[in-house]
Structure 1
Amino acid sequence: MQIQVMNSPFNQEQAELLNRLLPTLTETQKNWLSGYMAASVPGTVAAPVEEAKAQSAAPAISKEVTILYGSQSGNAQGLAKNAGKTLTESGFQVTVSAMSDFKPNNLKKIQNLLIVASTHGEGEPPDNAISFHEFLYSKRAPKLDNLNFSVLALGDSSYELFCQTGKDFDQRLAELGGTRLYPRFDCDLDYDEPAAEWLEGVLVSLSEAQGGSAAPVEAAAAPTGESVYSRTNPFKAEVLENINLNGRGSNKETRHLELSLEGSGLTFEPGDTLGVYPENDPALVEALIGEMKWDPEEKVTVNKQGEVRSLKDALTSYFEITVLTKPLLGQVAEISASEELLELVSPGNEEKVKAYLEGRDLLDVIRDFSLSGIPAQKFISILRKIPARLYSISSSLAANPDEVHLTIGAVRYEAHGRERNGVCSILCAERLQPGDTLPIYVQHNQNFKLPANPDTPVIMIGPGTGVAPFRSFMQEREEIGAEGKSWMFFGDQHFVTDFLYQTEWQKWLQDGVLTKMDVAFSRDTDEKVYVQHRLLEHSKEVFEWLQEGAVVYICGDEKNMAHDVHNTLLEIIEKEGGMSREEAVQYLTDMQQQKRYQRDVY
């Protein structure tokens, strides 16, 4: 039975702490605690264990469980499906659905609800969770007094609004009268262990409500026929090609990587992404060790499983050292006892902390606050695991069997008096040679997929490296002989040096695989021209394609490009469809619901 504010004398914080503790206790520990508590209250006598159980037993609740996920890149979807599989094997009747495919009015009929939600951008819900999120916060949201729920929130603690979408759902469901059947878990990028702990707690709570007990949750094995390689067990893929796509004199460097999947059993579809586990820059690792006067060969324990590595290896390939987060800065302040750093992270200095975090890394903190004398083991224990970098796959498996291609822009910039490099992109640009290997896994993304009907028209908008998935789309459509019209909008700085995969696009146009292509090279004209301007130039025809049922895809930068393209599409719909702004917004929302407006943005 779960302790709730409504069925106990505890406040919310106390209830959540107790609910975390109780499922971990053995029967012996529970019996001891029961006797101890009874003995500690004057005038009471401990009830027999069986009698106490009978008194605390809650009415059995439904074995039907609904799991809804809000997912942008596929992580939340994968966890939701795994939870569904585990609960089904434990005898529950489970429905797993994307929030966009769920009718919100059905919430009133549900007794057990699990939410798995990622947070996108600056605290925003992912695309397939927007409508559900809006419904819950609207006046149409019903009272949910009979609802039991629990939330698993995914996020990145380097963002200020960490796990905000999950927090929103958790808070709102409680406000509508729902009862937490298990406390919300907020997961950082390395989410596997906390997600498993949350699922075990949920299963225990559901099972206890049924009057039974739950078996321990075990890691799900790969279904027969699927690859044994995954996010937690990456495949070491050999590099076959590593080419710079930009011409001489370009301001950019874009790497085209071809990796071998031979022997991996890994498969993917156009629209999926590839997770790559990078290594940190050896020069940065060396500087970090030097500043702290550590021994690079010192043996350190890197995880709860007791894995031991040399300090140099741990900082090179296991821990993240290039991104500062607010929690990390607070932990550094605590273990260093630096008065200056403790002052910075003290309450009321949130804006100063936010400003400090921008563009700085671990080496900056060590130098800025003259940190030294902290044992290496103590220091690394506060670091988080280096996260995989996700890249849109730029090839079709049907067209390139046993291979996967990536299109990666090299990130280099200057900040706070130091040259900075993207961890994975500069590894690929400067240190990765054919014959080397990269630890990789496939991240399936059902939210960015070609139409099931190959006759459906598609409009693809992808400037810069946003072109990647559309190369995959075109290879696939060529391979299957798709008859549907296709229109590509591509943009970059200069036609001569930055037209990525130019000869391939020209050949697809020539062969009729690609129907139309419009390009925008922003630095070739006095006035900067971007893909949204090209869309507006063809406003009438774009709307005609939409009316014919075309699916619109956007890939690339969310803050600027995707935002501008979204507004341009609204403008086109408003103008060409003779609609008000509200009607145009609804038109685009309907397209999103029909999976005719899909975005792969970052």
Structure 2
Amino acid sequence: MFFSFCRFSVFALGSRAYPKFCQFGQDLDEHLRKLGAVQIHEVGKGDELCGQENSFKEWAFGTFKAVCDIFSIEVADNLLATLTASDIKWQPSIYRVRPVANTSLNITQALSETHNQNVVNCRLISRQNLQSNDSNRETILVKLEIAPNQEMKYSPGDHVGIFAFNSTEDVEIVMNHVLDRPQDFVDLKVQRQDSGFWKDQKRTPFCNLRTSLTYFLDIHSPVSQSLMEALATMATSEEDKKVLTCLSKDVNAYQKWRLCCGLSFVELLQEFSSLQFSAAFLLTQLPVLLQRFYSISSSQLHVPNQIHITVAVLKYTTLSPKCPRKKFGFCSNWLNEIPIGSEVPCFIRKENSFHLPENSELPVIMVGPGTGIAPFRSFWQQRKEEKSSGSTKSGKMVMYFGCRRLDHDHIYQEELTIMQFQGILDKVHVALSRQPEIPKTYVQNLMEATSSEIYQLLVVEGGHIYICGDAGMAADVTKMLMEIIKKENKNKNPDAVMEILNNENRIHRDIFGALALKLSSEESTSVACIKCS
């Protein structure tokens, strides 16, 4: 066979928040074997939610041993040991910081260069809570104004990347642990020693440490095992050092810690107060602060100089009842708290696979419970403007929305009613999962109840279906779609119909992962990390 000469092993990357964990890597492994390639070690799987680095180390060790066995290579035991030994990236002797001439840093331009994106400043002009005052949750409609001199073009279905900033209070907490704390007016550059020479490292812009921590470095994501391993060497308390060392080396202990506490860098410093480190450590080892993406909830035909987004303000409590901790979504709470008129750095990410069909006469089915409705607001605004201008004929639009209670969180209820009254939306189906005195209903249940309508629009009339929301819901909706085709398509192969829909790009998905791994009720009551037990 063509690949019979090939020896391989695959390490797959993924997240257990999604139904088909590491599916691409597993498929690649299977296809290579079918083509005649020889697998020398089983597929490794790295979960971004927990233990990815250690999983890779174990896979690399097994693969290296397999290669040595196949090619009869004798390797000393001490060399094999190095594969699973610590590989702390932080080496104080090869990094240093040096002052540079002060410059007037343009934050927006610096974000553009750091992230290789065309970042522009929009202005927050409005923020509205879409849920009732009786709800214990918040979902906000955020309206951003594009400056007249800025060029930002987007289409319904696109995303906007938002850059949030770390608060002054959190930055000060970090600064208080810096041994060589520089003055705020001193701009710094990082240098790394390479072959005897000190070379500038421009991972983030040359600026003072406070500016770096505010705009460019991530101090709110859970601390990784590799970063924890480096921090363990910087604890002056033996107890802190012991716990951090255990968490950095024991995958199971670290996983429990992520579920139980999941401390960010700032929270870790408050929990392990003996930690002390250098400015060079922060500038080289903290992850870069990334944008958060949101589906755009507006059409530029409707609001030419604005971008609207629908944001669930994330507030939750960690899983363990032994030491519950309140947590807050970084960007969503930032958007909910900054003053009206504040500048919001952002950029557009095109999502061509989630755009409306080029032929506007084709039917459109939209499935989006909760904030999954976000991009569909841009869809119905677009169709409204097209209909008003008389430029095109519009096909049917059907909305499947889901929420807990009508009186609490039926967001955009008024808009949906108006759009249906104006003939933009033909039907709106609402599933209620917590409405008193009625059975729980989810969007897939409503799809099943209207299966003939879905089949007619999607298969017979050549329509498109759009699914937006979390990965679990999307999997349930896709499964229900398959059941509908089986039921309604009595004389044909349902798998062939699904294949046609996929090949013609008529099933569109905009999916995001779950917040954390799901545990059974028994597991969730027993989760306690080494720090809390």
1:352 aligns with 2:253: yes
Structure 2: how far apart are the matches of 1:388 and 1:233?
A: 13
Matched residue, 2:364: 458
CA change 1:144–1:340 in 2 (3 A) is closer
Structure 2: how far apart are the matches of 1:263 and 1:121?
A: 41
TM norm structure 1: 0.61
Paired letter, 2:159: T
Residue number among 125, 139, 147 corresponding to 1:254 in the alignment: 139
Q: How does 1:78-477 map to 2 (within 5 A)?
A: 121-122=15-16, 134=27, 137-138=30-31, 142=35, 160=51, 232-261=117-146, 262-290=148-176, 297-298=183-184, 299=186, 301=188, 304-305=201-202, 307-324=205-222, 325-334=224-233, 336=235, 338-346=241-249, 349-358=250-259, 359-415=262-318, 416-431=323-338, 433-477=339-383
Paired letter, 1:351: N
Aligned residues: 418
Indicate conservation of the 8 Å contact 2:368/2:402, yes or no: yes
* Aligned-pair CA distance for 1:470: 0.4
Residue number among 509, 512, 529 corresponding to 2:441 in the alignment: 529
Q: Once the two structures are superposed, what CA deviation does each residue of 1:433-460 show, in whole Å capped at 9, x if it has no partner? A: 3211100000011121111110111110
* Aligned-pair CA distance for 1:228: 11
CA change 1:120–1:392 in 2 (3 A) is farther
1:543 aligns with 2:455: yes
RMSD value, Cα: 3.9
| Amino-acid identity (%) | 28
**Structure with more relative contact order (C-alpha pairs < 8 Å, separation 6 or more):** 2
SS at match of 2:142: strand
* Aligned-pair CA distance for 1:465: 1.1
Paired letter, 1:531: V
Matched residue, 2:497: 587
Q: Once the two structures are superposed, what CA deviation does each residue of 1:180-238 show, in whole Å capped at 9, x if it has no partner? A: xxxxxxxxxxxxxxxxxxxxxxxxxxxxxxxxxxxxxxxxxxxxxxx999853410111
Where does structure 1 lack aligned partners over 5 or more consecutive residues? Answer: 1-5, 14-117, 146-154, 176-226
Structure 2: how far apart are the matches of 1:119 and 1:442?
A: 26
CA change 1:126–1:258 in 2 (3 A) is farther
Where does structure 2 lack aligned partners over 5 or more consecutive residues? Answer: 39-45, 68-111, 191-200, 388-392, 513-533
Paired letter, 1:381: T
CA change 1:345–1:159 in 2 (3 A) is closer
* Aligned-pair CA distance for 1:428: 1.1
Paired letter, 1:419: K
Indicate conservation of the 8 Å contact 2:15/2:48, yes or no: no
Q: Once the two structures are superposed, what CA deviation does each residue of 1:264-321 show, in whole Å capped at 9, x if it has no partner? A: 1110111110000111244433444446688585557477227343433322222111
Indicate conservation of the 8 Å contact 1:340/1:369, yes or no: no
Structure 2: how far apart are the matches of 1:160 and 1:584?
A: 39
Matched residue, 2:386: 480
Matched residue, 1:514: 425
TM norm structure 2: 0.69
CA change 1:573–1:160 in 2 (3 A) is farther
Structure 2: how far apart are the matches of 1:436 and 1:269?
A: 25
* Aligned-pair CA distance for 1:524: 1.2
SS at match of 1:523: coil
Matched residue, 2:485: 573
Q: Once the two structures are superposed, what CA deviation does each residue of 1:39-62 show, in whole Å capped at 9, x if it has no partner? A: xxxxxxxxxxxxxxxxxxxxxxxx
Indicate conservation of the 8 Å contact 2:311/2:371, yes or no: yes
Matched residue, 1:80: none
SS at match of 1:278: coil
Matched residue, 1:86: none
CA change 1:570–1:158 in 2 (3 A) is same
Paired letter, 1:567: K
1:554 aligns with 2:460: no
SS at match of 1:399: coil
CA change 1:230–1:381 in 2 (3 A) is closer
Q: How does 1:22-37 map to 2 (within 5 A)?
A: none
Structure 2: how far apart are the matches of 1:391 and 1:470?
A: 13
Structure 1: how far apart are the matches of 2:133 and 2:19?
A: 41
Indicate conservation of the 8 Å contact 2:114/2:205, yes or no: no
Paired letter, 1:266: M
CA change 1:136–1:270 in 2 (3 A) is farther
Paired letter, 1:547: V
Indicate conservation of the 8 Å contact 1:301/1:377, yes or no: no
* Aligned-pair CA distance for 1:387: 0.7
Structure 1: how far apart are the matches of 2:464 and 2:434?
A: 30
* Aligned-pair CA distance for 1:161: 5.1
Structure 1: how far apart are the matches of 2:27 and 2:396?
A: 34
Indicate conservation of the 8 Å contact 1:394/1:470, yes or no: yes
* Aligned-pair CA distance for 1:343: 3.0
